[in-house]
Amino acid sequence: MTQPITPIVRPAMGHDVSSMAVALARAFYSDPLFVWMLPDAATRKARNAILFDILARHAHLGHGGVEVAECGTSILSAALWDPPGRWRLPLRAQLAQAPAFRRAFGTRLPAALAVLTAVQWHHPAEPHWYLGVLGTEPAAQGQGLAGALLRSRLDRCDTDGVPAYLETSNEPNIAYYAKFGFRVTKEISLPRSCPPIWLMWRDPQ
C-alpha cells in the first residue's frame, strides 16, 4: 500500500505555472472527458499541458485561490479554485485565451467549447468557492496530496460558512469527493458520445 506523505501546501505563484501544467497534464491524461476531447493519445499530454497553462495563468491564478502541494522542490498536485463570484471569465480573458485554446484542441475545439458551454450553463448561482481543477501526478497519487489541498480550502470554507462546488467526469471521483462532504446534484448527459459529467456541491460544515 502506498504510504501517505506530508506535503507542503502553499499558494501558487506565477513561476509555478509551467510545473503545475505539466503535473496536471499527466494527471488528466486518462480522464474520460480529456480522452474524448483529445482522442490522439500521442499528442494528448502536450495538448493538456497547453490547456492547463492557459487555465492557470489566465483563468485562476489572479483570483488568489490556486494552491500547490509540493515535496522537496517538486510540485506534485495542484488545486485551481475560484472565490465566490469569480468563476466566470471576463471577455478580455477569453480573448487572451483564444489562440492557445486553438493550439490545445486543434480540430476538436468546437467539441470542447460545446462541453464547456453546457457545463457553464448548469453552474449554480449561489455564491461558492469553485474547484475548477484538482489533479495529482500519477506516480504520487494515493499519498494524500489532493486531500491536503482539499482540506486547505474546505477548512476555510467551513470557517467562513461558504459552500463549495465542482464538476467531475471521472466516476470514481464521486466517492472520493463524497468523503469530503460533496454530494452529486446533477448528472449532465452530453451528445456525440461525450462521457457524462457530474456536478457536486458541498455545504459548509
How confident is the model at residue 41, as a pLDDT?
97
Is 57 in contact with 109 (CB distance < 8 Å)?
no
Per-residue DSSP letter, 142: T
Q: What is the pLDDT of residues 141-184, one digit of tens each?
A: 999 999 999 999 999 999 999 999 999 999 999 999 999 999 99
- Interhelix angle 41-54/17-27, rounded to 10 degrees, is 140
How confident is the model at residue 1, as a pLDDT?
47
- pLDDT beyond 80 at 91: no
- pLDDT beyond 80 at 14: yes
Is 146 in contact with 173 (CB distance < 8 Å)?
no
State how far the Cα of 163 lies from the Cα of 126, in Å rounded to an integer.
9
Three cell numbers, residue 159: 470557517
- pLDDT beyond 80 at 89: no
- Of the pLDDT bands very low, low, confident and very high (cuts 50, 70, 90), residue 50 is very high
Is 68 in contact with 21 (CB distance < 8 Å)?
no
Superfamily designation of domain 8-160: Gcn5-related N-acetyltransferase (GNAT) (3.40.630.30)
How confident is the model at residue 193, as a pLDDT?
86
Q: Residue 126: name the closest of 175, 185, 64, 67 by CA.
A: 185
pTM (2 d.p.): 0.92
